[in-house]
């Protein structure tokens, strides 16, 4: 398990990263990548969406361009403070909650879509979190998870693996299917300087 696949350490990490996150993140997770990921989903104004690990709200900003309301959850109070500054704390179009991907504070069969970007690499138990996604999804609902940018240098990979979770499409298949998702597919994307380094996985909850 990587150093940051620990909830307390991840919260401490984001306590400091949140101060510069919106200046750093666009170089790693760009608007173009976000838009490409959004095109993989079936979205209309009335689609009910949950953004898990919403952070400062970068993905949330893209989601509200397609749907009327987004529910967003993150475990970091410091990241959420940055998001509140953009959207407000409780008013639509975004409803924020502080919570854990492995214990989502929502009822079963609530959402049409569960989205998560830049979060899975910090989950101690990804399959448990993915099962929570399936629980809160309506039958036939879509899940989309954007994974981290995995370096291709073997030495850098060892360092990366010691910090957080990285995986390929075969491991993604295993995790999503073990969690109970159907029609699992993958897309690869990346910033212009390092294309096709991040794996994005989509799937559906059983009907």
Residue 119 has what pLDDT? 84
The domain tally of the chain equals 1
Q: Output the domain CATH number for residue 142.
A: 3.40.50.150
**First and final C-alpha spacing in the chain:** 34
| DSSP 8-class letter at 103 | B
Pairing of strands 49-52, 70-74: parallel
Residue 5 has what pLDDT? 43
Is residue 154 one of the residues assigned to a domain? yes
Residue 153 has what pLDDT? 62
Residue 2 has what pLDDT? 44
Q: Which domain holds residue 17?
A: 7-204
* Cα 152 from Cα 172, distance rounded (Å): 18
Is residue 123 one of the residues assigned to a domain? yes
Is residue 39 one of the residues assigned to a domain? yes
Is residue 157 one of the residues assigned to a domain? yes
Residue 154 has what pLDDT? 63
Is residue 1 one of the residues assigned to a domain? no
Q: Please provide the DSSP assignment of 59-99 as one string.
A: HHHHHTTTSS-EEEEES-HHHHHHHHHHH-SS-TTEEEEE-
Is residue 163 one of the residues assigned to a domain? yes
Spans of the chain, pLDDT less than 50: 2-6, 9-10, 13-18
Is residue 2 one of the residues assigned to a domain? no
Residue 17 has what pLDDT? 47
Kindly give, in sequence order, each residue whose CB lies less than 8 Å from that of residue 182, ignoring residues fewer than 6 positions away: 203, 204, 205, 206
| DSSP 8-class letter at 100 | B
């Amino acid at each position: 398990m990587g150093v940051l696949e620990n909830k307390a350490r991840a919260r401490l990490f984001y306590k400091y990263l949140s101060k510069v996150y919106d200046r750093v993140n666009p170089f790693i997770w760009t608007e173009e990548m976000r838009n490409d990921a959004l095109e993989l989903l079936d979205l209309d104004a009335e689609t009910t969406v949950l953004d898990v690990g919403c952070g400062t709200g970068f993905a949330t900003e893209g989601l509200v361009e397609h749907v009327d309301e987004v529910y967003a959850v993150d475990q970091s109070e410091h990241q959420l403070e940055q998001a509140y500054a953009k959207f407000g704390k409780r008013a639509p179009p975004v409803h924020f909650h502080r919570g854990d991907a492995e214990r989502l504070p929502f009822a079963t069969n609530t959402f049409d879509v569960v989205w998560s970007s830049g979060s899975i690499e910090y989950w101690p138990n990804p399959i448990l979190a993915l099962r929570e996604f399936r629980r809160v999804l309506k039958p036939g609902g879509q899940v989309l998870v954007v994974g981290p940018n995995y370096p291709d240098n073997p030495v850098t990979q060892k360092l990366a693996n010691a910090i957080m979770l990285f995986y390929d499409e075969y491991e993604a298949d295993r995790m999503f299917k073990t969690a109970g998702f159907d029609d699992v597919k993958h897309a690869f994307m990346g910033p212009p300087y390092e294309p096709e380094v991040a794996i994005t996985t989509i799937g559906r909850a059983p009907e």
